[in-house]
Amino acid sequence: MGKALEKIRILDMTHVQSGPTCTQILAWFGADVIKVERPGVGDATRAQLRDIPDVDSLYFTMLNGNKRSVTLNPKTEAGNRIFARLIEACDVMVENFAPGAIDRMGFPWEKIQEINPRMIYASVKGFGPGPFEDCKVYENVAQCTGGAASTTGEIDRVPLVTGAQIGDSGTGIHLVAGILAALLHREKSGRGQRVTCAMQDAVLNLCRVKMRDQQRLAHGPLKEYPQYPHGRFGRAVPRAGNASGGGHPGWIVKCKGWEDDPDAYIYVITQAQAFPALARVIGHEDWLEDPDYNTPEARLPRLEHVFSEIEKWTMTRDKMEVMATLNPLNVPCGPILSMKELAAEPSLRGAGTVVEVDHPERGPYLTVGNPIKLSDSPADVERAPLLGEHTEEILKSVVGLDDDEISAARAQGAI
């Protein structure tokens, strides 16, 4: 069975994380992703956070699997011509340079459309139209300006950013959706279109429930937040520690070994329908008859006590034991799994979500494979390319250059 995006060719002008996340997913789906990199330098992340001297970093290799790398400087005369040919030969161009960078290379959207009216041109920028549209943006800036930081952290403590890269990878994933929609639309219209996704917008989209709470706040305190009933609510949605963002209260509680193990915790959700079983297992059968505890509404002002009682029980067992006990009772819960545990987890290896690939310079390394599973076209996770590894092959087979033309381009510093 073929790959879902077989025969779709992507001109990948991305760097760092947000754009590469997008094109890596497209590559896993089977698109031919041609990553264009600056001659001699490449994507800056090749050299960032290196663990092995002079070897492409894990930062780069984990975001650029299944792609082909061509070195090309579109700002040179020959590079400009080659780039125009690549635009002609590709279906989608993806970029996440600073605002205006591709225009400054001589390729505004109007020109791209002129060269290839079927081209879908997708960009990530920090902000959409408005006062900040020209700003350069990295992950944590997006988390701060998109509503994640103001709503993450402990009550009355500094705003926190999350380890999940919702600004970079989150926006890249949003962009994938836009590109696929534009590809489908092109089937009907015959024309490409512009796809843009701002990191602020993507983060805000992921913080949708907090915008929900902002509007609920106008009608009274947020009763599932730990500030209720004793704390004060201001005018904006506050940070809520580990409170659940949904309709069923939840919290992180300690498990056996928490004194030495920073990850000996579990998240427990007191879903209404599973609460009687949870109360029984922790030795609080009395709650089932007690009007202060036997309905979700009655428990809301007493959640701190409820979770401290649950914690007394969880502290007597390790987190996997707690999970094994609560799961059959249909109590939604999840142990805090460290990266070490996730890297070794057999089920994630089995599902192709954690994958080991071999690299000619660094040897085997672990990467996170495609989390999106297609039944008829599963992803084969391959290593990231070396800088310019496919330059000649692409210039010949995609651009149509011969050896002399390639030598001339090289002499100009175009490739």
Is residue 168 part of the annotated active site? The answer reads: yes
Residue 75 or 185 having the CB closest to ligand COA: 75
Nearest distance, CB of residue 32 and ligand COA, angstroms: 19
Strand partners, 197: 124
Q: How far apart are CA 381 and CA 353, in angstroms?
A: 10
Are 387 and 42 contacting, i.e. CB atoms less than 8 angstroms apart?
Answer: yes
State the nearest-atom distance from the C-beta of 41 to ligand COA, in Å: 8
Cβ-based nearer residue to ligand COA, 112 or 278: 112
Please tell me which residue in 32, 56, 168, 213 is annotated as part of the active site. 168
Shortest Å, Cβ 193 to ligand COA: 20
> DSSP H helical segments within 65-207, as ranges?
77-89, 101-104, 109-115, 139-145, 168-189, 199-206
- Per CB under 6 A, residues contacting ligand COA are 16-19, 36-38, 72-73, 75, 96-98, 101, 104-105, 124-126, 136-138, 168
CB of residue 394 to ligand COA, shortest distance in Å: 13
**Side-chain half-sphere of 200: how many Cα atoms within 13 Å?**
15
Contact 413, 104 (CB under 8 A): no
Q: How far apart are CA 272 and CA 119, in angstroms?
A: 51
Q: Which is nearer to ligand COA, 141 or 266 (CB)?
A: 141
How many residues in the chain? 415
CB closer to ligand COA, 107 vs 293: 107
Distance of closest approach, residue 174 Cβ to ligand COA, in angstroms: 12
User: What CA–CA distance (Å, rounded) separates 108 from 118?
Assistant: 15
Contact 162, 87 (CB under 8 A): no
| Nearest-angstrom CA–CA distance, 183 and 165 | 26
CB closer to ligand COA out of 253 and 394: 394
Which residues carry out catalysis? 168
